[in-house]
Amino acid sequence: MRVGRFTVSQSTFLLLAAGVVGIGGGFGAVVFRWLIAFETNFAFNVIGAHLGKVIGVGSIVVQLAIGGIIAAWITAKFAPEAKGHGVPEVMESVALRGGVMRPRVIAIKALASATSIGFGGSCGREGPIVQIGSTIGSVLGQFAKAPAPIVRTLVACGAAAGISATFNAPIGGVFFAAEVILGEFAPRSFAAIVVASVLSAVIGRAYLGNHPSFDASPFQLASPYELVFYALLGIIAAVWAFGFVKVLYFLEDGFEEMKLAAWIKGAIGFAAVGLIGIKFPQIFGVGYDSIQQVLYSHVPAAHAFILAVMKPLATSLTLGGGGSGGIFAPSLFTGAFLGDGFGRLVHVAFPSWTGPAAAYGLVGMAAVFAAAAEAPMTAILIVFEMSNDYTIILPLMVAVVISTLIGRRLLGATIYEMKLLRRGLDWQKVRHPRFLTRVRVETIGRTPPVIAQLNDSIDTIVERDAASGELAIPVCNGERFIGIVTSVELAAAIAHGKGRDAIHSIVRATSDRLQPEDTVERAATIMAEATVPLLPVVGEDDRLMGIVTRRDVLDAYRSLADE
């Protein structure tokens, strides 16, 4: 492909571009983290402090309402696609628009999400940074006028770069991009994603520090029987994730039905979060400090279970009201408190079989996210990288696999896919269609080199067919399709001395016809019959518009397979 005055192979360009996206995504994550810190300080230490002197404890509700107004207004005014999770919007772009996204999303998503999180909204950093990094990749691909498959891969590179830098999880970033954004592990795209993730991690570590997100206590499996409890935790996590997703979309629908301005919805949703936060301040923001407290020392089981309910509710109000943020951190928070509460109960009941409750909190983090996102590899690797505790891998795998399987049965789609389904987009069918359903007949139908009229002599048609090399010829009456005649049938007629007879004496009528809007898959299905060498493409009144042969179908298949 050409890039300016230079010509490079697609593979070379992809790796070079992936490096650029990795660097851009790394710095994007760093700037985004700084922006969140700035807005948090401004919201709590400036606005909140002044409001507190005037209205006391209720100041947090007003502070949240102000944040909701600003965040909802920004997205509604400048980039509606920056509202909400961020990840479904990236998936939709990959599926429908070849990865094309507007450059303004970078700034609008960063500002709206930093405002949502900084003012105390209950949401995460991963959705915004995925959308920001993906947009960087998309813009670079569009600037280079790269083909759609390359742009889609660069979008995934941006997603991996964002995850890698902001969570110091380069391996998890790679698997998130491949498992969630692309839905596949193609070798060429996987290599590019790795390059982007590694470079982004280097930048993130240089500016944000090289340390895990959580400092987990050393884990040790107390007894082989303990794996049974981790399996049970996987089941509970799947049910909890099911409730989280249902509450999220119930409240999103409720806010959507309100005939109010976006900024008013933002004020209502965020103010409700403020009311919850008066009693449970742990639900504000990303919540990683609260998760760390769980991993240091468990909280009472009843309080842990309450927070495992309050966090999904607060996140649903934040995003439903028009806030911008991810669901990854809320999933980790919910899983940590759910797991810790569960671990406390089983440790009291079976002290000789079970380890500390904090270990169950760590496993619960991965199990809830895996059930909601159906991304087991991502969940296992990111939680492992964020805690840097390899010994937890065995119970992690048990709980995550079980929660993923049950979560799929309960939800039917991931938390990201469900948002697309509500827009009428089936992610699985769009991203993984059968090859020949992608192409319509009108794109491969061709003008037949030979068209026989009913009164043409067989000799004349044989002469024309010899020059064209076609195995079958359409027969028409004027422009109206009548039937077909094969080269074998023409040769047999000549052998029997019927060369001067009219073609209508041997024409074979057929009811098999294609419309221009039919898929090539339909053509291939009909042609599975050995007696159908040619299909006519007809319009109104059976007017012949073109033909499709087995060779045309095979050419279409090869073209799609090479993409």
The per-residue pLDDT for range 190-221, each reduced to its tens digit, is 889 999 999 999 999 999 888 777 776 666 77
pLDDT at 240 over 90: yes
pLDDT at position 321 is 93
Minimal CA–CA distance to 105: which of 137, 76, 135, 125? 135
Least confident of 6-15, 236-245, 378-387: 6-15
Question: What does the alpha-carbon distance between residue 36 and residue 326 come to, in Å, rounded to a whole number?
Answer: 14
pLDDT tens-digit readout, 166-178: 888 888 888 888 8
Question: What does the alpha-carbon distance between residue 32 and residue 114 come to, in Å, rounded to a whole number?
Answer: 7
User: pLDDT category, 43, cuts 50, 70, 90?
Assistant: very high
Is the fold of 226-260+282-431 the same as that of 436-561? no
User: pLDDT category, 137, cuts 50, 70, 90?
Assistant: very high
Question: What does the alpha-carbon distance between residue 120 and residue 449 come to, in Å, rounded to a whole number?
Answer: 70
pLDDT tens-digit readout, 322-375: 999 999 899 999 999 999 999 989 988 888 888 888 889 889 999 999 999 888
- Say which residues have a Cβ less than 8 Å from residue 438's Cβ, sequence separation at least 6: 519, 560
Q: What is the dihedral of CA 444, 447, 453, 457, to 10 degrees?
A: -100
pLDDT at 464 over 90: no
User: pLDDT category, 430, cuts 50, 70, 90?
Assistant: low
- Residue ranges covered by each domain of the chain: 2-208, 226-260+282-431, 436-561
pLDDT at position 319 is 94
Q: What is the CATH number of domain 2-208?
A: 1.10.3080.10
pLDDT tens-digit readout, 5-40: 656 677 788 889 999 999 999 999 999 999 999 999
The angle formed by the CA atoms of residues 447, 453 and 455, to the nearest 5 degrees, is: 170
Mean pLDDT confidence for 59-79: 93
pLDDT at 433 over 60: no
More confident residue, 8 or 441: 441
Topology classification of domain 436-561:
CBS-domain (3.10.580)
pLDDT at position 457 is 92
Mean pLDDT confidence for 522-527: 79
pLDDT at 404 over 90: yes
pLDDT at position 529 is 61
C-alpha radius of gyration, the chain, whole number: 30
Give DSSP secondary structure letters for 312-360: HHHHHHHHHTT-B-BSHHHHHHHHHHHHHHHHHHHHHH-TTT---HHHH
User: pLDDT category, 71, cuts 50, 70, 90?
Assistant: very high
Q: What is the CATH number of domain 226-260+282-431?
A: 1.10.3080.10
